[in-house]
Amino acid sequence: MYWNPYGGVMDEISAAATAIKSLLNSIFHIMLISNLYANIK
């Protein structure tokens, strides 16, 4: 699981501002990545 802080621009936005209106309470974008080749020999 990777936690991506939206490209590091969150420091440039004030705490009172809504950075991304569709994600009101989200600071990190959580990415789930699976390794499809782990069981292939």
Averaged pLDDT score across all residues of the chain? 61
Beta-carbon-side half-sphere exposure of residue 39 (alpha carbons within 13 Å): 2
What pLDDT digit, counting tens, does each position of 11-24 carry?
Answer: 677 777 765 555 55
- How far apart are alpha carbons 11 and 25 in whole angstroms? 16
19: burial class by Cβ within 10 Å (0-12, 13-18, 19+)?
middle
- In this prediction, residue 37 carries a pLDDT of 61
- How far apart are alpha carbons 18 and 13 in whole angstroms? 8
- In this prediction, residue 12 carries a pLDDT of 72
- In this prediction, residue 16 carries a pLDDT of 75
pTM of the model: 0.24
Q: Spell out the domain ranges in the chain.
A: 2-31
- How far apart are alpha carbons 21 and 19 in whole angstroms? 6
- In this prediction, residue 24 carries a pLDDT of 53
Strands annotated E in the chain: 2-4, 29-31
